[in-house]
Structure 1
């Protein structure tokens, strides 16, 4: 099960894409003498403000990324961004004017929602001398993540990607009769997705293949025998009816 949500580390905030996030002013209750102004990005675009005795206004930036997403708390001046996307990552600064000017800066990181890793068999054919089953765990179009194979709670291998959106794959070899618990996990700093390995479903020995073929062949023979039997019955019925018609 994925672990999603908002986590705050000092002046940095991390959140999963699609969630809502609230940037706090650390003010319990603003007074009528307080003016609050929120700015975004290196350009310091004003996106929200409270002025003149709690008159609230929110603003968009030129590219429209904040349209219908901003909510300002009248009591505390805290700013909420709904349905956040990676376009909303960056620096936010709030200025609070009153008896004295105070300000606070927060850096928001937005992580994409993680896909569930896919485990598949990399063994193309069976061999009587083959002792291991080759597997691969893969994910498509991810960034800022780590893909890892686990044996129980211990990491066997891992691969990471930073800012590039690419596909990752990680191989693993296990014995056919291995009874250990294996899993493949994809994680970023605030969430994870895990896929557990079922060796019996993905790894088949030669004996399993032969048994499956024998069972399949038996079923086919049974079906063919039934069809032949039905055909014989139809012929006999037709013959009896034909003889009866001739006698009449």
Structure 2
């Protein structure tokens, strides 16, 4: 969001231009919904004073106060009742307060103070601003006039804050509608669209150079102001460098460039002043986070930040006489390689045909951890803004021959770990395949030894029996 301090700098410049345009005594700016007081500049109304407040160039009567007749009249139903229950007149000074303002209250207000000895007239231009409109560069945005239909005799003008430049107009009486796309070095070329029913203005394919104040003037609604934020998003990995390019090819001889960094507060970090030949960076601000990292291009005014850390994330704002640019910089930490492990114990007695796996990472932020089968996403989990650990389980068949991978990614980088099922998953249904090769050899040797022992015992038993039989024949007398 645009910080208020910088807004006010340019806002004051814009109001200065408006005073010159309208020739009014005072310009009043108020946010939609707030109240505004137009001071009569009197400390006390005289006994024969008559005070009238009028609105618009058609001078619709809003209030009348006569001290002599002790009469106060408020005409709230003019202009379709747009001021109903929202006008307050100070009985002592004649000042007028408008409450709960809306954009249709923008315009010229005139106070006439008449008596036998004096005649005073003041003019106020009231600008009721809408909320700031924000858009990412490249998107489209519509600045709504709040009109449902343009009146048959209305003339509508759209102006851009730089040099109060006319960029579009509708003349209903002449049945003409014109957009001026080639003004200001063609920054609006082929990107302005007017609604001939409501007068709303659409800017397509927005650019940073479209940032700033837009004013809508008509015969019935004067001086509605829009503040358009156009952001350019840049993402970079920690440790890399980035150049904030303002799209200019050359700084004009009389121009001045100011660079600001805004995160928790606005900090001045660089300046180029062509008239005085000043070219400097202020890299010791904010605990020295920019020290030896800022480089200015004295031809274009672009700013380069080297060896970026997480502390450099935020909005970088460039201000010149004819250009204001906002670069929203996001910095991502380097990604660790995900670790894949198995939850299955080797040679388990379980008869399940599936192997349980877990992919995990530690100390990550703003990332997504995902399982893929080939190029197809199977499941994913995302980290929040806090640095946390992530784990994502997966079950596969022991004999699955497909290619699996675990991917850790952020918007600009990724780390992939491929799964080798044969190394992490072992089935126990077949002891030879399940158990380790050493254990299988031992079992075979033991089986052989048992077999040999059995044969030896059998041979020994046979020989023992034969020996007993031979001994029995020796002791038996012949017939």
Which category describes the TM-score, using the shorter chain as reference length? 0.7 to 0.9
- Residue 439 (structure 2) aligns with: 214
Q: Partners of 1:210 and 1:176 in 2: how far apart?
A: 14
Change (3 A) 1:33 1:173: same
Root-mean-square deviation over aligned CA pairs: 2.1
Q: Partners of 2:330 and 2:398 in 1: how far apart?
A: 43
Shift of 1:213: 3.4
Q: Does 1:58 align with 2:281?
A: yes
State TM-score, norm by structure 2: 0.42
Q: Partners of 1:20 and 1:95 in 2: how far apart?
A: 22
- Residue 340 (structure 2) aligns with: 119
Q: Does 1:142 align with 2:364?
A: yes
- Residue 89 of structure 1, aligned match among 313, 317, 330: 313
Q: Partners of 2:438 and 2:349 in 1: how far apart?
A: 15
Any unmatched runs of 5+ in structure 1? 1-8, 222-248
- Residue 190 (structure 1) aligns with: 412
Q: Does 1:69 align with 2:290?
A: no
Equivalences, count = 210
Question: Which of these two proteins has the greater Rg computed from alpha carbons?
Answer: 2
Change (3 A) 1:35 1:119: same
Q: Partners of 1:113 and 1:185 in 2: how far apart?
A: 14
State TM-score, norm by structure 1: 0.79
SS at match of 2:435: helix
Q: Partners of 2:258 and 2:295 in 1: how far apart?
A: 13
Q: Partners of 2:440 and 2:304 in 1: how far apart?
A: 62
- Residue 163 (structure 1) aligns with: 385
- 1:164-183 matched pairs, under 5 angstroms: 164-183=386-405
- Residue 303 (structure 2) aligns with: 79
- Residue 17 (structure 1) aligns with: 238
SS at match of 2:439: helix
Shift of 1:128: 5.3
Instruction: Identify which of structures 1 and 2 has the higher relative contact order when contacts are C-alpha pairs closer than 8 Å and 6+ apart.
Output: 1
Which deviates the most, 59-68 or 158-167?
59-68
Change (3 A) 1:216 1:52: farther
- Residue 37 (structure 1) aligns with: 258
Shift of 1:40: 0.4
Q: Partners of 2:233 and 2:281 in 1: how far apart?
A: 23
Cα deviation per residue 1:150-173 (whole Å; 9 max; x = unaligned)?
A: 111111111111201000000111
- Residue 90 (structure 2) aligns with: none
- Residue 3 (structure 1) aligns with: none
Shift of 1:132: 1.0
